[in-house]
Amino acid sequence: MTAAHDMLFRTLADPTRRAIFERLCRQGEQTVGALTAEAGVSQPAVSKHLGLLKEAGLVRDRHEGRQTHYSAQLGALAPLMDWTREMAGFWESRFDDLEDLLKRMDQ
């Protein structure tokens, strides 16, 4: 439960890694070479990041000859959206409670 959030937050916390993911979101499927050209770090570093993104379910890979194509898996962001909404929800419900209280005090 919280372990999934862990992986998501931790995976997206690194700027280099998040930039790779963003690029895949914006521009669709990319090869490791193409990603490396823009990443500002070495190819092994990019591969490592892609490995972690894949473990987190944020990307898919597709092998074609000697190159590997990666693409974003947007569905993996759902738990993150849910979590954020949940936190906001708690806040609102506490606010509603306060409103109720004030209303009752008003009478």
Give kind and range of the element (H or E) at residue 60.
strand 59-64
From 43-51, 78-86, 89-97, 99-107, give the range in contact with DNA by CB under 7 A. 43-51
DSSP state of 106: H
Binding-site size for DNA (CB under 7 A) equals 26
By C-beta, is 10 or 48 nearer to a copy of itself? Answer: 10
From residue 35, how far is each of 10, 48, 73 by CA, in Å?
21, 12, 16
Instruction: Give the bridge partners for 82, in sequence order.
Output: none
For the CB of residue 73, give the shortest distance to DNA in the complex, in Å: 15
User: Taking CB within 5 to 8 Å according to partner kind, which of a copy of itself, DNA, none is near residue 55?
Assistant: none
Q: Which residues bind DNA (CB under 7 A)?
A: 10, 13-14, 16-17, 31-33, 36, 41-45, 47-52, 61, 64-68
